[in-house]
Amino acid sequence: MTGRPSANDLVEAALEHFDAAAVALADGPWREAAWSAWFSAGCHADMGWLERTASLRARPDTAASGAFAWLIVARALRTEPPPLALWQDPRRGRVARYAWGLDYHLAMREPLARLAEAIRRAAGLTAPPRGFVDTAPVPEKELAARAGLGFVGRNTLVITDLDGSWFSLGGLALPWRPAGAAPYDPATAAHAADRGCGTCRRCRSACPTGALVEDRMLDARRCIAWATIECRGEIPETLRGRLHRWLAGCDLCQECCPWNGRRPDTRTPRTAFDPEQHAPLLVAALALSPDSFRKRYGSSAVARLGWTRWIRNALCAAATAPADADVRAAVRRHLDSSDAVVRATALWALRRLDAGSDEESDSP
List of residues contacting ligand SF4 (CB under 6 A): 153-155, 159, 197, 200-203, 206-207, 209, 211-212, 218, 223-225, 250, 252-253, 256-259
Tell me how far, at minimum, the Cβ of 145 lies from ligand SF4, in Å. 12
Question: For residues 286 and 289, what is the distance between their CA atoms, to the nearest angstrom?
Answer: 8
Q: Catalytic residue, from 46, 134, 215, 326: name it.
A: 134
Tell me how far, at minimum, the Cβ of 129 lies from ligand SF4, in Å. 31
How many Cβ atoms are within 10 Å of 5's Cβ, its own excluded? 23
Q: Give the length of the chain.
A: 364
User: In this complex, which beta carbon is closest to ligand SF4, that of residue 51 or of residue 214?
Assistant: 214
User: In this complex, which beta carbon is closest to ligand SF4, that of residue 17 or of residue 154?
Assistant: 154
* Under 8 Å between Cβ of 241 and 357: yes
Question: For residues 311 and 43, what is the distance between their CA atoms, to the nearest angstrom?
Answer: 25
E strands, 212-253, in order: 212-214, 217-218, 246-248
* Under 8 Å between Cβ of 317 and 89: no
H/E stretch holding 24: strand 20-25
Pairing state of beta strands 130-132 and 246-248?
A: unpaired
Cis omega (within 30 of 0) for bond into 364: yes
Question: For residues 143 and 70, what is the distance between their CA atoms, to the nearest angstrom?
Answer: 8
Residue 247 DSSP SS3 = strand
Question: For residues 99 and 96, what is the distance between their CA atoms, to the nearest angstrom?
Answer: 6
Question: For residues 294 and 302, what is the distance between their CA atoms, to the nearest angstrom?
Answer: 9
Residue 62 DSSP SS3 = helix
Q: Which residue is nearest to ligand SF4 (CB)?
A: 153
Tell me how far, at minimum, the Cβ of 296 lies from ligand SF4, in Å. 23
Tell me how far, at minimum, the Cβ of 250 lies from ligand SF4, in Å. 3
Q: Could you tell me the sign of the dihedral formed by the alpha carbons of 176, 177, 181, 185, in that order?
A: positive
To the query of whether residue 9 is one of the catalytic residues in this protein, the response is no
Tell me how far, at minimum, the Cβ of 198 lies from ligand SF4, in Å. 7
Tell me how far, at minimum, the Cβ of 4 lies from ligand SF4, in Å. 37
User: In this complex, which beta carbon is closest to ligand SF4, that of residue 122 or of residue 217?
Assistant: 217
If phi > 0 it is left, if psi is from -120 to 50 it is alpha, else beta; for residue 167 that is: beta
So which residues are the catalytic ones?
134
